Amino acid sequence: MVVCLEGLVSALKPFSESGKEVDLHRAVSMYHMKAIGKAALGHDFGPIDIDRGPNAFHQAFEFMLGELPRRGDTPAVVMLSY
């Protein structure tokens, strides 16, 4: 996962050189999605581009995380858990 970490470092470098603010939570989250894609799925989800924002996979993952608490209280989901 060194390649993924190098991608994160190179994405953050312009921010450190210019003094611009960066959403570090987003950057680390994008790094984790990239690492999971390479390790678990064998797929490269593209470069970590903090200025452009999250890619489609990252957006879908964030949506899923937001939906989990809302859907966790529905009977259909509860029945699937046992």
pLDDT 10s digits, 9-44 = 888 888 888 988 888 888 888 888 888 888 888 888
24 in Cβ contact with 7 (< 8 Å): no
Per the structure block, which two tokens stand in for 53? 């924002």
Q: What is the C-alpha to C-alpha distance for residues 78 and 82, in angstroms, rounded to an integer?
A: 8
- Residues 53, 56, 57, 62: what is their CA dihedral angle, to the nearest 10 degrees? 60
Q: What is the C-alpha to C-alpha distance for residues 40 and 77, in angstroms, rounded to an integer?
A: 25
Among the ranges given (12-16, 30-34, 45-49, 59-63), the one the predictor scored with the smallest mean pLDDT: 45-49
CA-nearest of 52, 35, 53 to 44 is 35
Question: Residue 74 above 80 pLDDT?
Answer: no
Residue 2 or 42, more confident: 42
